[in-house]
Chains A and B, each alone.
Chain A
Amino acid sequence: NAGVTQTPKFQVLKTGQSMTLQCAQDMNHNSMYWYRQDPGMGLRLIYYSASEGTTDKGEVPNGYNVSRLNKREFSLRLESAAPSQTSVYFCASLFGEQYFGPGTRLTVT
């Protein structure tokens, strides 16, 4: 049981570039989440998906899009990266408690 996995672990982008962060879980959970973590600001919800085929905005959705490809996978896309999107991104899934992935450290220069 791998739990929640994320790729890549680290990424450096130039302003304006695009990329997709991948997340997968093998626990058969319905709900999946994307958070960003910035110093002093805790974990802020970007988007979540309560079930396959549904997605909803969280607290800070601007500049991001998501896809719930199937029950296992939930991806986060940055269409045109900005320095303000430099952060650590965590994916999570939920069954009773939230299980977090290992995180992706993204730097936008």
Chain B
Amino acid sequence: SQELEQSPQSLIVQEGKNLTINCTSSKTLYGLYWYKQKYGEGLIFLMMLQKGGEEKSHEKITAKLDEKKQQSSLHITASQPSHAGIYLCGAAGGQGAQKLVFGQGTRLTINP
């Protein structure tokens, strides 16, 4: 079965600094989703990547998909307190499957 590993597991950065979160899959990625979760709450959809080399941006968050490396990265530029939370990557299960397999999450803390 497919497994996703996120690194780092937790991250503390100074406000205004850039940061990167990685997500590595044990199998081929057919689609990769990034979600953000405030502690104990639901997941907020950030973006979805489908093709190798694809890159998407929303405000100060950029995600890339390296299909050959079975890896995705999430980069935040000039971090703000509103970026704090848990970031989760989720992979589509393959052809015809809609279930998502998630990584364990990366807890991001922004210090003022």
A, B from the same assembly: no
